[in-house]
A and B are shown apart, each in its own frame.
Chain A
Amino acid sequence: MTGDFLSLASVVGLVSGNLILRLIAVAIVAFIVVSIGSLIEIYIERKFWARIMSRYGPTEVGRYGSLQLFADAIKFISKEVFTPELADRTIYDIVPVLAVATSFVVLVAIPFDYAVSSLFPSSFHPSSFVISNFDPSLLVAFGFFAMEPVLVLFGGWAGGSKYTLIGGFRSAAQLISYEIPLVLSFLSVVALTRSLNLFQIIEVQSASWPFLILELPAFVLFLIAMLAELERTPFDLTEADSELVAGWNTEYGGSKFLLVYLSEYIRAFAGSAIITCLFLGGWVGPAPIPGLVWIFAKTIVVFTVLVWIRAAYPRVRIDQMLNLGWKVLVPSSVVWLVLTPYVANFAVVHHLLTL
């Protein structure tokens, strides 16, 4: 260090040397990326959806309504914090916080930090920096993803209302039955790359084609299961506004609702990012653009597709949803998993894939 001046390189050196500082740095990076991501997502959701509906969406606050989300956040925060009389106070209060926390943790597994370090290509070797480069990163991501149904069930139960209770039960049924096809469909990618490490999976794709092409059936199955896992239309039965008002989060208001709402969009962001990493090649892109921009842009595009689906489809019924999960998605993903070695063989023979 020279005097009071902290050079970028020295900061990087300090941080990469200390594990705790490294973790904090990753948390800050993830927080910034996700905050910006969620804001962009909500803005896209409102604006893009509005255009499909031939509305304008937000226009008044800020240019093109860009500050509307901040106005909304201020409104939520400044509202009264209340607890319904029949609610189970402790659980009721803790569920929104845990929902946001577990949604954030999912992002640990996604190699945003590598993508960030790609902005400073000469400063250090990326593998010395990344925290996401650990072997079972995909498993960790889905482990935290799978905590949501428990929270939703608790939140629905603790709300003390019949709407929230029905919403919570539906959510439990839905998420449990869609975990299995979700895992089965990404297993074929795992079988192809022989790794549960998202970092590794992207590396393999960077040497060949994105798995969207090689693993198209798995992509479709994974997308459908992910839609259900994110509780978005057409699988938003837990918040079926036409019968359950707002489903399991009916009784949340003010800042608690803000947390619930935020956790949904963080999950949506994480889900889109996982799709990007598994099937769309993560930070890899054809043009010489920094990896962070690539992974970010791809994630937003995937999310936009989710919005598109939401605008085009109504909600399915609970039995139709379970039928789709158990009778279509599970068998098809098993069949595709069995076929995967043949696909891999074909791809290697024809130099589509280097393992």
Chain B
Amino acid sequence: MASKPQLKPPVAPPPDPLQAEKEMVRTLLGALPNDFVNLKPARRRRLVGQCLPATFLHVLAFLRNEAGFDHFNYMTAVDLRTSFDLVYDFWSIQKHMELLLKVNIPHGQKDELVPFSTSTGVYPAAEWFEREVYDLFGIEFTGHPDQRRILLREDWKTHPLRKIYDRRGNPINPALGAAGPPALWRTNEGKIALPKKWLEEDPEVSESVLTVNFGPHHPSTHGPLMVRLRLNGEMVYDADIVMGYLHRNHEKLGENNTWIQMLPYPDRTNYVSPINWEWAYVRAVEELEGIEPPQRAEYIRVIMAELDRIQSHLMFLATSGDTVGQLTGFVWGLRDRELILDLNEMVAGARMLPNYFRFGGVNRDLPKGFSERANNALDLIESHLAEFSAIYERNPVFLGRFKGVGVLSPQNAIDWGAVGPGLRASGVQFDVRRDDPYSVYDHFDFDVVVSNDGDNLARFMMRVEEIKQSISIVRQALHGLPSGPYQAKASVLSIPPGESSSRIETPRGEGSYFLVSDGSPRAVRMKIKSAAFINLYVAKRQMVGEKLQDALVILGTWDPVLGEIDR
């Protein structure tokens, strides 16, 4: 029997993908109607807006206390030649929403300090970011607890990210800026300033403590980093960190090189996980251009990035053995890392700094036999993880050094701005791959591993578990690798004007590039948000009150990479 064609039920309008974002905008504007300018959703899970300098602190307090933007991602500045844009980026861990807030403040003709109010009172994590902005832009944050230079030497007179300086730090117009780098910049004399707190200290206290410098050439600082510990016996009374020995000012390089010329630099930003950082840069440019890479390219990127995460975490397993004098694990970690570096060589031709990603795709297709070789390497690494557990997490002496030591509460982790495995080890669920998914991560089945202990062991185990998850993701991606082109059409020089910021879950946490383009072949501003930088801040805060031996282990569990910290 013939059935009558039934009337289709009325199709419900597709749900607005930006509904939550619009709701948040309404909430914010409802509470603070006069403080925001041009607040709107930029894309899913991201709001962009501007606010007025006069009521800025008021807005910050509201954002943190009422609106739930509890995680301070980064802050930076953009020199617009007549004024500065201060850029603040927040993330709400509960609501999975990012807020990029700008404040415009004027600056004069010459290189003079510009005052602005500090946000460290609301967000403690802003401390080092504000020091960095003070250092590179000359914006003085009134009320900042410890206003010193952070990346440059203390006797450096200028603020090199201002547009009146060229790439070598000399003023373009000598009438405007002070002379460039100090003459003696190769010596250590005049590099370091003591923290304000130490200078104002009670002399009786400073007599009873011993200040020991660890680094910049020291086995357990993971690179040219200087840790100054004030010791009271074996206890750390206070800590200070001197960085910048590896500072090359990638951000200034970004303004002086064309977009495509910048491609090899992200590798050098973090030489332990180069591919994830390439991805961060490439994604930011792709967002400016508005192009989508083909599916095959996305899968290849996921494979390479997860392999990269595995080798970076293996490096962590290696160095965490080194920090407690377990050199066997150190060599084992490096041995297994070789397997992944060999895969890098097979795919990109280079082992450590592969320079593989391109705008809109990757440099070349995966070679023949890659899948088989990658699977073999993964099987081997997986079987070696059991050996690692014998000398690490099943070893009583190792447990004694890691378990229950250096406990970080979730509240402190969020307040101090921790990201990545360290944040998840404190029980805070935040992984960019799941909470703000990019690329094709939503195609794969993986867990975001979280621990509630927050101690050294939790941070250590987080890496072990993430290696297992990454192995599973790579296997899934190799299995479902689609065919097709590996490169979309993308222009390499004429990038449209605009702003973009990418967020990538690098092995050390969220890393991002904030790009401002005016349509010229070079960026107006290229900010690199480094995960290791803010994690080092957390490590510094954590060290105080611990034993000397534990302090350096805590530093190690935050996996600092100095290339990324100093940029």
Chain A residues near B (Cβ < 8 Å): 49, 52-55, 162-163, 166, 233-234, 236-237, 240-243, 245, 311-320
Contact = CB atoms under 8 A, between A and B. Distances in A.
Interface residues of B, number: 31
A318 to B, nearest CB: 6
Interface stretch (B12-20, B33-41, B171-179, B214-222): B214-222
B145 interface: no
Contacts of B212: 162-163, 166
A316 B335 CA distance: 25
B401 interface: yes
Given A242-B219, A317-B400, A311 B328 contact: yes
A253 B294 CA distance: 60
Contact of A240 (B231, B332, B400, B549): B549
A227 to B, nearest CB: 12
Nearest to B234: A318
Given A237-B549, A315-B549, A320-B401, 11 more contacts: A49-B328, A55-B331, A166-B548, A236-B325, A241-B219, A313-B326, A313-B395, A314-B321, A314-B397, A319-B234, A320-B400
A289 B227 CA distance: 57
B188 to A, nearest CB: 17
Among A55, A236, A312, find the residue whose CB has the most chain B CB atoms closer than 10 A: A312
Nearest to B405: A317
B400 A316 contact: yes
B332 A53 contact: yes
B404 to A, nearest CB: 12
A205 B324 CA distance: 40
B100 interface: no
B440 interface: no
A318 B546 CA distance: 13
Contact of B214 (A53, A237, A243, A311): A243
A242 B547 contact: no
A162 B210 contact: yes
B548 A52 contact: no
Given A240-B549, A243-B552, A318-B547, A312 B328 contact: yes
Contact of A242 (B335, B391, B397, B552): B552
A313 B391 CA distance: 7
Interface in B392-450: 395, 397-398, 400-401
Nearest to B392: A314
Contacts of B549: 237, 240, 243, 315, 317-318
Nearest to B324: A314
16 contacts: A52-B328, A162-B210, A166-B231, A166-B548, A240-B325, A242-B325, A243-B220, A243-B549, A311-B327, A313-B326, A314-B325, A314-B326, A314-B395, A317-B550, A319-B234, A320-B401
B323 interface: yes
Interface in B517-567: 547-550, 552
B117 to A, nearest CB: 39
A230 to B, nearest CB: 15
Given A166-B212, A314-B324, A314-B326, A319 B547 contact: yes
A-B complex: 4 closest residue pairs judged by Cβ atoms: A315-B325, A314-B324, A314-B326, A53-B331
Contacts of A320: 400-401
Contacts of B552: 242-243
A314 B210 contact: no
A50 to B, nearest CB: 9
B89 interface: no
B322 interface: yes
Among B328, B330, B547, B550, find the residue whose CB has the most chain A CB atoms closer than 10 A: B328
Given A242-B219, A242-B324, A314 B332 contact: no
Nearest to B547: A317
A159 to B, nearest CB: 14
B37 to A, nearest CB: 51
Nearest to B231: A166
A242 B220 contact: yes
Nearest to B556: A242
Contacts of A313: 326, 395, 397-398
A242 B327 CA distance: 10
A166 B549 CA distance: 12
Contacts of B397: 234, 313-316
Contacts of B323: 242
A145 to B, nearest CB: 23
Given A242-B220, A243-B552, A54 B331 contact: yes
Contacts of A245: 218-219
A108 B214 CA distance: 42
Contact of B401 (A49, A166, A316): A316
A319 to B, nearest CB: 7
Contact of A314 (B231, B398, B548): B398
B537 to A, nearest CB: 21
Contacts of B335: 54
Nearest to A320: B400
Contacts of A317: 400-401, 547, 549-550
